[in-house]
Structure formats: C-alpha cells, structure tokens
Structure 1
Amino acid sequence: MSTFDHAGLTQNINTALKSFRQSQSQVMQNFYQMSQAAMVDGAIDAKTKELIALAIGVTQKCSGCIGFHVQALHKLGATRAELDEMLGICVYMGGGPALMYCAEAIDAWEKLAVKTA
C-alpha cells in the first residue's frame, strides 16, 4: 500500500501557491470561481462531479488532484462503494497505469477519512 501523504501534499500545495495567489490574484480568483461554478449542483450533483474530477485526477496521474478531490468527497458524504465503483471505471479506461493510481486514491481515502470525520 502507498505511504503517500495526501494531507501533507495538499497542505504543501496550498502553502507553495500562496505567493502565486498574490502575484496572480486575478488568475487564481478566476480559477476559484470557475471551480465553484463547475461544482454547483445541476443536472449532475456535486458528489458525482467530484467523483468525475477524481477519476480524471487518477487517470491523469495527479497526486494533488487525488488529495483535494478525496477530501471533497469525504465532505460530501461519498461512500467507499462509490469510490470503488468509480475506480473500476478508471481501470477500464486507463489500464494498468490508472490501476497504480487507484491504489493511491484508496490509500488517500482511508487516511483522509480520519482527518475529515
């Protein structure tokens, strides 16, 4: 099992981007607004949208994306069964490389469940 620290990674990303948020405030404000607009409940609910975002993060091999979207899924009340089913689609669409990041997502799920509970 992975020993990757997703909580630490997301904290480090936020810290590392602090000066960028200041120097590129308009870009970051617009990115935040876009992310908020994209995740609003509509024809697809917010939890499903976060599952889609996590699937993209897994198949694109983005550890930061995995950390942030797993945290969001815990807050939205996603279940382990929903995570597993989505990860099955990741393996189907992304093959072996996606499977390796599925293990990372499962590890993040287990470790971050404690932090968001």
Structure 2
Amino acid sequence: MEDWDSYSAGLRARGKELSAIHPELMKGFGALSRGASTTKHLDAKTREMIALAVAVTTRCEGCIDAHARKARAAGATKEEVAEALGVAIALNAGAALTYSLHVLDALDGATG
C-alpha cells in the first residue's frame, strides 16, 4: 500500500455507498464498533494496539489503516506497536503449527 490517505478516502466513499444501500447493516456495525471502544479497564492506546494485532492476523487493510491512525492519535510509539505486532506474528505462527498438527491427525486417520 503506497498511499494510505487515498485508500482510506476510497473506503469511506464505498462505506457511504453501502450505507445508502443497506443502512441497518451500517448502523449495526457502528453500534458494535462504538460498544467495543467503550471500555472501563483498557485505555485507548491499548485497545488500538490490540486492534492492530488483530488487523494483521485477519489481514484487514482497512482495519490496519483505521487503527494505525487511532493508535498514533492515542500516543502509541512505533516501538510499542512493533511489540504488539510481535504478538500477532507469534500467534499466526502458532496457529500454523496447530493446524499442521491437524494435518498429521488427518494423515493418520486417512484410509485411502
């Protein structure tokens, strides 16, 4: 991704289009998003670093864009974000390892 500002503007435009087509969907998504960002025990920076790690894990470029901006606004440093991303990287590797073990289970259970 070379121009995150253009990408973000394009997403917002398409989001407005989807909102016009299916307003209840977008209202529901907005309510879910507001609910998730209203917490008593996590500060904004921590929430955004979790969001960035999840965005990487789910491979959501729009989420990366939105939450990188929010993390910066909440005062997250590159070093802090890098540590959060390290957790995402490790969990992705762990998931690949776990599913690799399922392959061994499948091989052992395969009869054909």
**Smaller-chain TM-score bracket:** 0.7 to 0.9
After superposition, what is the alpha-carbon deviation per residue over 1:52-97, rounded to whole angstroms, capped at 9, x for unaligned? 11111111111111111101111111111210110111111113xx
In structure 2, C-alpha distance between the alignment counterparts of 1:30 and 1:79, rounded to whole Å:
32
- Alpha carbons 1:51, 1:86 under 8 Å: kept: yes
Picking from 37, 40, 43, the partner of 2:41 is: 43
Q: 1:53-64 maps to which residues of 2 (within 5 A)?
A: 53-64=51-62
**How many residue pairs are counted as aligned between the two chains?**
93
- Bigger relative CO (Cα 8 Å, ≥ 6 apart): 1
- Alpha carbons 1:58, 1:90 under 8 Å: kept: yes
- Bigger radius of gyration among the two: 2
Picking from 19, 27, 30, the partner of 2:25 is: 27
1:113 is matched with none
Which runs of structure 1 show a deviation greater than 6 angstroms over 4 or more consecutive aligned residues? Answer: none
Identify unmatched segments of 5+ residues in structure 1: 96-117
Identity %: 31
Instruction: Using the TM superposition, give the Cα deviation of residue 41 of structure 1 relative to its aligned residue in structure 2, in angstroms.
Output: 3.2
Q: 1:6-17 maps to which residues of 2 (within 5 A)?
A: 6-17=4-15
1:76 is matched with 74
Identify unmatched segments of 5+ residues in structure 2: 94-112
- Alpha carbons 1:53, 1:69 under 8 Å: kept: yes
TM normalised by structure 1 equals: 0.71
Give the superposed CA RMSD. 1.4
The one-letter code matched in structure 1 to 2:77 is T
Instruction: Using the TM superposition, give the Cα deviation of residue 46 of structure 1 relative to its aligned residue in structure 2, in angstroms.
Output: 2.2
